[in-house]
Structure 1
Amino acid sequence: MKLYLDPGHGGSDNGASGNGLKEKAINLDIALKIRSILNNDYENVNVRMSRTDDSTVSLDERTNEANSWGADYFLSIHCNSFNGSAKGYEDYIHSSLSDSSKTANYQDTMHEAITKVNALSNRGKKKANFHVLRETTMPALLTENGFIDNEHDANLMEQASWRRKVAQGHVNGLEKAFGLKRKQDGETLYKVIAGSFQSRKNANKRVALLDSKGIDSFVSPTTISGKQWYRVQAGAFSKRSNAERQLNKVKNAGIADVYILTENPDDVGEDSSSYAILGKTFLSPEHMNQFVQDINEDALALGKYYSTFGAYYGIRGDIAFAQAMHETDYLRFTGIVQPDQNNFAGIGATGPDNPGASFDTPREGVLAHLQHLFAYASEDSLPDEYPLVDPRFDLVTRGSAKNWTDLNGKWAVPGDQYGQSILNLYEKMIDASIENLEKVLNAIKQ
């Protein structure tokens, strides 16, 4: 299935705005999360996006690219605005289509799946003469995910957890509408790797080259023997024969260093340590702090605690730090947990009436976080140098989550993409640290 995913607006076009938010940023974040879920959890899905950053793309460019690529479905992500009083979710197909058309049937399925999870009032299924619905040659849907100028809807929009739920709702609809097949635990996958690089820039160049040849791919960071590599993945298949066909297609495009990586999630592979909770911390406290402060300049400097306690408990402190950024929206605390709780892991938080545990200091909050992870990742007794401050340590089934993705449905409910979201954020931290290092090296050369 070929999905053309269109985050509305971008670059010089902010779209709607309100309550300190810009539509273009909300649209992009939801769309990137949709792509991430599809790439990580589903087989034989190719996703192409009209933009993956804050760039300006015309309406004609969007529809022309989707048409020439031969997409099976065009999905445009938007937010709404009116007068501050309107609120809720609605979606659109083109006004010329009948209620019995294939596009309308897809709309029925998507609408039901999205409204199940988005916590917005339902404004219904609608039709309009929008460009992206009129000029596309494949079925197309435009979703309006709340009103950005309405305080209720905007409060949801600014929460990363809500944007993840909305993305998952879109994916749930796509799965049902197109019969997408989830990757099964223990199922062998054949990944077509069109090159591996130690430079992210070189990997991006390979992706651009493949794109020019009409082959979809993306960069997949991985750790091998303690070193960061960037693989360019051009598909993942459950059948070896399909992977071999894709391999030959990549070779015919002039890429010689392409190979098939056989991967079984139940096997201990060469890069399985990059997904384990227990392990060595690679990023320095300075890199951790710089990453979050580039996003939130008022953020606390917690890197030293995650490094120290991570080393003591044998936990990947840098990925635990990524989890904290995920839970707290980069220490902006836009959810139910408040800054004075020093609860960076959301321990015990279940809703507005129960915001979870509180800790006296940031240091104690990080210590509780690492102890909670230790309870999930290990069956050993807790080392006794530090006091037990995690109030829920004894409520955890010991050793029930060896890997970060094993936290799905345990740390966050339903949370079926929880671990993947943490690892995706960690990969961004790696990218940022490499970019900063390159800046330093260039400055030295000059």
Structure 2
Amino acid sequence: MKLYLDPGHGGSDTGASGNGLDEKHIVLDIARRIRDILVSEYENVNVRMSRTDDSTVSLSQRTNDANAWGADYYLSIHCNAFNGSATGYEDYIHISLSDSSQTAEYQDIMHEEITKVNQLRDRGQKKANFHVLRETTMSALLTENGFIDNVNDADLLRDPSYRQTLARGHVNGLASAFSLQRKEEEPGATIYKVIAGSFQSRDNARNRVNELQSNGIESFITMVTISGEQWYRVQAGAFSNQENAERRLQEIRNTGIEDAFIVTDNGESGNGDGSQEEPNGYSILGETFLSPELMNRYVKDIYSHAIEIASYYLTFGAYYGVRGDIAFAQAMHETDYLRFTGIVEPEQNNFCGLGATDSSNPGASFATPEEGVLAHIQHLYAYATTDDLPDEYPLVDPRFDLVSRGSASTWTGLNGKWAVPGNDYGQSILDIYHGMINSSIEDLEEVRQAIRDV
């Protein structure tokens, strides 16, 4: 199934505005979440977006692109505005279509699934002569997800977890309308890490990183113990698809580096290097797979003014044995991609909402971003294990002793504990994590295209 996903407006066109929100930002975030859920959870889904950042794209560019690509469905995401008093959800197909058309049948399904979860007044299924409905050659739907100038609707839209709920509703509709098949459930997703050499000297590992960087390949150093000895590995990518990992491996070997190999998260090595067992991809404890550069770039694509904190998640995650990359994804979920649109303020350096309950109790504050990340990782350590806290760093998590130690070994195990109430908190974090993995695949495709253009 080929879905053309169209976040409305963008760039010089802000769309509707109200209550400190711009439509262009809200709908882009919802669309990204729809994409990430689809590609991480469903088989044979190809998603193309009219824009993936805050860029200006004309209506004709959007529909021409969708038509030329041969999309099976066109889904345009919007928010509404009127006079501050209107509220609710509605969706549209083209005015020329009958109620028995295929497009109308899709609308019936989409409307039912979205209104099941969106907590908004149901304003009904409608028809209009909008450009994106008229000029598309495939079935098309435009959804209006609340009124941004209405205080109550805006309060919902401001919440990242609510936007995740909206995305889920859209995905549920798509899955039902197009009979999408879920990917096989596994205890943890297999991730293929590309290792560009292992060294007993950190200096040699650093030289390898510099060599890769000079060839346009991002990498970073991780530490691993093999047969009782410490090694410094140079990691140059992590992919959910083995074919993409093998392409990155070949790119590395094309630079003249021969000692590169692939390791999966279940301990299977592409070159039989005898590496130790890798952690489950959904466990809180384990190795960090994604580079700080990729993580920082991912959030900056969403919020260009985001501070760079990913290196702290790598450092502290490695020390405590906590998955720093998924912890970073949790921070993005809690802070709305470092925009801090909830009750926690940026100057608190509280990236995981420690102690935050409401506007009168916005939670803990930390002196620096580094200390805030340290507290986050220590809090995860408390949930994930009953082991004593290592003592190289001081305990800065003010709620460490309030945790039921070892009560959540996985990210989905945080459901109902970190975020109360709720049963999809952990999955929301993993959705963002999978989005970061998919962004690394997109980076690889850009490199391949650049090579072809030379």
TM-score category (smaller protein): 0.5 to 0.7
**CA 272–19 in structure 1, closer or farther in 2 if over 3 Å, else same:** farther
* 1:229 and 2:237 aligned: yes
CA contact (8 A) 2:329 2:430 kept: no
Q: Does 2:85 align with 1:85?
A: yes
Query: Aligned partners of 1:2 and 1:420: how far apart in 2?
Result: 23
Using a 3 Å threshold, how does the CA distance of structure 1 residues 393 and 368 change in structure 2: closer, same or farther?
Answer: farther
1:148 aligns to what?
A: 148
Moved more, 384-393 or 33-42: 384-393
Partner residue of 1:328?
Answer: 335
Q: Write the letter of the residue equivalent to 2:36.
A: S
Q: Which residue of 2 aligns with 1:418?
A: 428
Offset, 1:382: 3.9
1:60 match? 60
Alpha-carbon distance, 1:159 to partner: 2.4
Residues 110 and 269 (structure 1 numbering): CA distance in 2 closer, same or farther, change over 3 Å? farther
Q: Tell me the number of residue pairs that the alignment of Structure 1 and Structure 2 aligns.
A: 379
Give yes or no for contact 2:350–2:365 (8 Å, CA) kept in 1.
no
Q: Does 1:104 align with 2:112?
A: no
The amino acid that maps onto 1:8 is G
Give the counterpart letter for 1:120 in structure 2: L
Specify the code of the residue in structure 2 equivalent to 1:182. R
Shift in alpha-carbon separation, 1:369–1:226, aligned structure 2, 3 A:
same
Instruction: Give the letter aligned to residue 48 of structure 1.
Output: R
Give the secondary structure class of the aligned counterpart of 1:116: helix
| 1:259-274 matched pairs, under 5 angstroms | 267-269=266-268
Q: Which residue of 2 aligns with 1:250?
A: none
C-alpha change, 1:408 and 1:226, in structure 2 (3 Å) is farther
CA distance in 2, matches of 1:381, 1:374: 10
Q: What SS does structure 2 have at the residue aligned with 1:179?
A: coil
Give CA-to-partner distance per residue, 1:107-132, whole Å, 9 cap, x none.
12111211222232221111111121
Shift of residue 30 of structure 1?
1.1
Equivalence map 1:161-172=2 (5 Å): 161-172=161-172
Q: CA deviation at 1:367?
A: 5.3
User: Where do residues 220-259 of structure 1 align in structure 2 (5 Å cutoff)?
Assistant: 225-229=233-237
After superposition, give the CA deviation of every residue in 1:305-360 in whole Å (9 maximum; x if it has no partner).
757754552324465344224212245542355679875323576x759968x446
Conserved in 2, the CA contact under 8 Å of 1:17 and 1:149? Answer: yes
Q: CA deviation at 1:177?
A: 1.4
In 2, Cα distance between the equivalents of 1:289 and 1:136? Answer: 33
Residue in structure 1 matched with residue 320 of structure 2 by the alignment:
313
CA distance in structure 2 between the partners assigned to 1:297 and 1:66 by the alignment: 31
Tell whether the 8 Å contact from 1:319 to 1:426 is kept in structure 2 after alignment. no
- Where 1:109 maps in the other structure, the secondary structure is helix
* Counterpart code for 1:227: Q
Q: Could you tell me whether the CA contact under 8 Å between 2:378 and 2:395 is conserved in 1? A: no
Are 1:343 and 1:365, in contact at CA under 8 Å, matched by a contact in 2? yes
Secondary structure at the counterpart of residue 28 of structure 1: helix
Asked whether the equivalents of residues 327 and 344 of structure 1 are also in contact (C-alpha less than 8 Å), the reply is yes
Distance 1:283 1:72 in 2: 35
Q: Give the CA deviation at 1:415.
A: 2.8
Distance of 1:188 and 1:325 partners within structure 2: 21
**Displacement of 1:39 after TM fit?**
0.7
In structure 2, relative to structure 1, the CA distance for the partners of 1:90 and 1:309 (3 Å cut) is same
Residues 52 and 274 (structure 1 numbering): CA distance in 2 closer, same or farther, change over 3 Å?
farther
1:93-144 per-position Cα deviation (integer Å, ceiling 9, x unaligned): 1112222322222112111211222232221111111121122222211001
Deviation at 1:288, TM superposition (A): 7.0
Distance in 1 of aligned mates of 2:96 and 2:5: 22
Superposition map of 1:45-444 within 5 A: 45-186=45-186, 225-229=233-237, 267-269=266-268, 275=281, 277-279=284-286, 295=303, 310=317, 312-317=319-324, 319-337=326-344, 344-347=351-354, 358-359=363-364, 361=366, 368-383=375-390, 386=395, 389-390=398-399, 394-395=403-404, 397-398=406-407, 400-401=409-410, 404=411, 407=414, 411-412=418-419, 413=422, 414-415=424-425, 417-423=427-433
Q: Percent identity?
A: 56
8 A contact 1:319–1:423 mirrored in 2:
yes
Between the aligned partners of 1:94 and 1:235, the Cα distance in structure 2 is 41
| 1: CA distance, partners of 2:439 / 2:23 | 25
Question: SS of the residue aligned with 1:395?
Answer: coil
Residue number in structure 2 paired with 1:12: 12
**Residue type matched to 1:395 in 2?**
S
Write the deviation string for residues 388-423 of structure 1: whole angstroms up to 9, x where unpaired.
74367543654631xx56656764532363232442
The one-letter code of the counterpart of 2:51 is R
Change in 2 beyond 3 A, CA 1:83/1:176: same
Question: In the TM superposition, what is the alpha-carbon distance from 1:274 to its structure 2 partner?
Answer: 9.5
SS of 2:117's equivalent in the other structure is coil
Structure 1 residue 92 displacement after superposition: 0.5
Unpaired runs of 5+ residues, structure 2, are 197-211, 224-232, 248-261, 270-276, 442-454
Cα distance, 1:325–1:51 mapped onto 2, change above 3 Å = closer
TM-score by length of structure 2 reads: 0.66
In the aligned structure 2, how far is the partner of 1:165 from the partner of 1:184?
Answer: 22
Report the CA distance shift for 1:289/1:362 in structure 2 as closer, same or farther (over 3 A).
farther
Amino acid at match of 1:323: Q
Contact 1:379–1:399 (CA<8 Å) still a contact in 2? Answer: no
